[in-house]
Structure 1
Amino acid sequence: MELGLEQKKVLVTGGSKGIGKGIASLFLDEGAEVAIVARSKEGLEQAQKELPGVKMIQADVTKEAARVQAFEKFQQTFGTVDVLVNNAGKSDGRNVEETALGEFESAMNMNYLSAVHFSKIAYDVMKQKQAGSIVNISSIYGREAGGKPSYNNSKAALISFTKAFADEAIKNGVRVNSVAPGAILHPNGNWQKRLQENPEKINQFVEREIPGGRFGTVEEIANVVVFLASAKASWVNGASVNVDGGQSRMNM
């Protein structure tokens, strides 16, 4: 499908590995101009080797000043922003009783507040030209119970923010959506670690919990993100799209 993303200026947070790198790669394949933000210099340099043409921005997105500086660097490089993908995130903690308050705060800062702030900054530019797309990477566990509470809470907040902001931003030509992945297998992810540690248990999980019968791939997430960012999804706004092989148990 011709998505019309040639020369679009795209910023992907958490883009040096895993889902973020896959998203950046597909945008590059579509002819977009892409910058990735990540904390690790080594990770960025490795990603640049694998993604010729991608621009690197080193920043700790949990810090407000660093987010501002990262976006300013993006603007200096590209002059504008057409697409923002808020992918940076982490999953820490245990059950509620055993998870320190600081871990809840840390999860909200990384998974939620960084996306809110980047969205507000990018929107200031997008609304001036009455065009743009913001895609937030949430999780099916932001839509239903399961997984680690600190992670789930922050992703639920992100889905709620997506809908609230979408209703505001569409009035100025900017669409805001989220993609909710299920269990995705990639070399840097938690599922890969769990699979290596206990393959029998994880294979049983897949058989029991994922009707599709396997883990999802990075590319399958990226395909949906790139579509949502394109004009082909012009009437999709405020949506949270499950990409999970049927794993989610919700009716919506």
Structure 2
Amino acid sequence: MNIAGKVVVVTGASSGIGAQTARALAQRGAVPVLMARSRDKLERLAAEIGGCGVYRLDVQDTAEVNRVFAEVFAEYGRIDVLVNNAGFGVFERFLDAPLEQFEEMMDVNYMGIVRCTKAVLPAMVKSGSGHIVNIASMAGKIGSAKSSGYSATKHAVLGLTNSLRQELAGTGVRLSAVNPGPIDTPFFERADPTGNYVKNISWFMLKPERVAEAIIRAVEKEKAEIDLPFIAGIGTKLYSLFPRLLDKTAQRMLNKK
């Protein structure tokens, strides 16, 4: 798919990789449609890059999701690409984390994707074209201490993406998962308020520009899955083959929280 001229909805677009993806889309001539809970931040971003649609959206609210996407279809006539990026994480030990924290992360990170996908998919299937990119995580492939709740949501995202890709075979609708490692974004303001994790893995953190480029590449090249960084992708493949053998190594490398 040539992204130029395409109507691309990006959820969680007010900051981080969502905002950077919007910038990169605009630079390539696409029509970014920005969605997030903070309308003020979206409007500032839209003023920066120009030519954007702005919609306040809480992906936890089913009625609001359906209403907002209906407004986008009414305004633009179609949605060519959906980038399901809205999400958050909190790194805390399982025994210390309240149940509500698990519920909220699953509702936003996983059910948010389900709600948004259901809002666009019927029209995509009817038109015989479209692309949905789900932002998962390397945490969805290898779990680590203090990320049981977050990793579980990203496991769910990958399971949904892989299953739906098979269901949609032959319809013309594409499904991609982008699995980044840690990214230098405001995500960690909530996930790691002490700053200890960021300090420990700062050398390994991805720049949001790199992840945004991967998201666009997934669409343009019709990639089913992209792992970032490349070396981490190799690690997850080895871990899937020899999980118990590599457990101790994974613990040393990943338990930095």
TM-score (norm 1): 0.86
Aligned to 1:210: none
2:114 maps to which residue? 116
Q: Percent identity?
A: 27
Residues 162-202 of structure 1: per-residue CA shift (max 9 Å, x gap): 0000111122110111101101113x23179969945xx74
Deviates more, 1:45-54 or 1:137-146: 45-54
Residues 4, 148 of structure 1: CA spacing in aligned structure 2 closer, same or farther, 3 A cutoff? same
Q: Secondary structure at the match of 1:228?
A: helix
1:222 aligned to 2:204?
A: no
Q: Say which structure is richer in helix.
A: 2
Aligned partners of 1:185 and 1:191 also within 8 Å: no
Q: SS where residue 94 of structure 1 aligns?
A: coil
What is the root-mean-square deviation in Å for CA atoms of aligned residues?
2.2
Instruction: Check 1:156–1:20 CA distance in 2 against 1; reply closer, same or farther (3 A cut).
Output: same
Give SS of 1:250's match: helix
The aligned counterpart of 2:4 is 6
- 1:209 maps to which residue? none
Amino acid at match of 2:172: G
Q: TM-score, normalised by structure 2?
A: 0.85
Aligned to 2:184: 185
Quote the residue 1:26 is aligned against.
Answer: 24
* Aligned-partner Cα distance in 1 for 2:190–2:93: 21
Shift of 1:102: 1.5
- Cα deviations by residue, 1:105-160 (Å, 9 ceiling, x for unpaired): 11111000110121122110111111110000011001111252111111110000
Q: Find the aligned partners of 2:191 and 2:94 in 1 and give their Cα distance.
A: 23
Match of 1:136 in 2: 134
Q: Kindly provide the amino acid, as one letter, of the partner of residue 141 in structure 1.
A: A
Distance in 1 (CA, whole Å) between partners of 2:194 and 2:214 is: 28
Q: Which of residues 51, 72, 75 in structure 2 aligns to 1:74?
A: 72
Q: Structure 1 counterpart of 2:205, which letter?
A: F
Letter in 2 for 1:205: I
How many matched pairs? 236
- Name the CA distance, whole Å, in 2 between partners of 1:98 and 1:197: 19
- Where do 1:66-215 residues align within 5 Å? 66-92=64-90, 94-146=92-144, 147-186=146-185, 188-190=186-188, 197=195, 202-206=198-202, 213-215=203-205
Q: Which runs of 5+ in 2 are unaligned?
A: 239-257
Q: CA deviation digits over 1:77-103, x for unaligned, max 9?
A: 211011000000011251211112221
Distance 2:53 2:17 in 1: 17
CA distance in 1, matches of 2:157, 2:114: 8
Q: 1:141 to 1:69 in 2, by over 3 A?
A: same
CA–CA separation in structure 2 for the residues paired with 1:7 and 1:69? 24
What's the secondary structure of 2:168's corresponding residue?
helix
Q: Distance in 2 between matches of 1:35 and 1:202?
A: 31
| Residue identity opposite 1:78 in structure 2 | Y
Q: Does the 8 Å CA contact 1:183/1:191 hold for their aligned counterparts?
A: no
- Contact 1:11/1:84 (<8 A) preserved: yes
Structure 1: 5+ residue runs without aligned partners? 207-212
Alpha-carbon distance in structure 2 between the residues aligned to 1:171 and 1:51:
36
- Most deviating of 160-169 and 189-198: 189-198
Counterpart of 1:79, as a letter, is: G
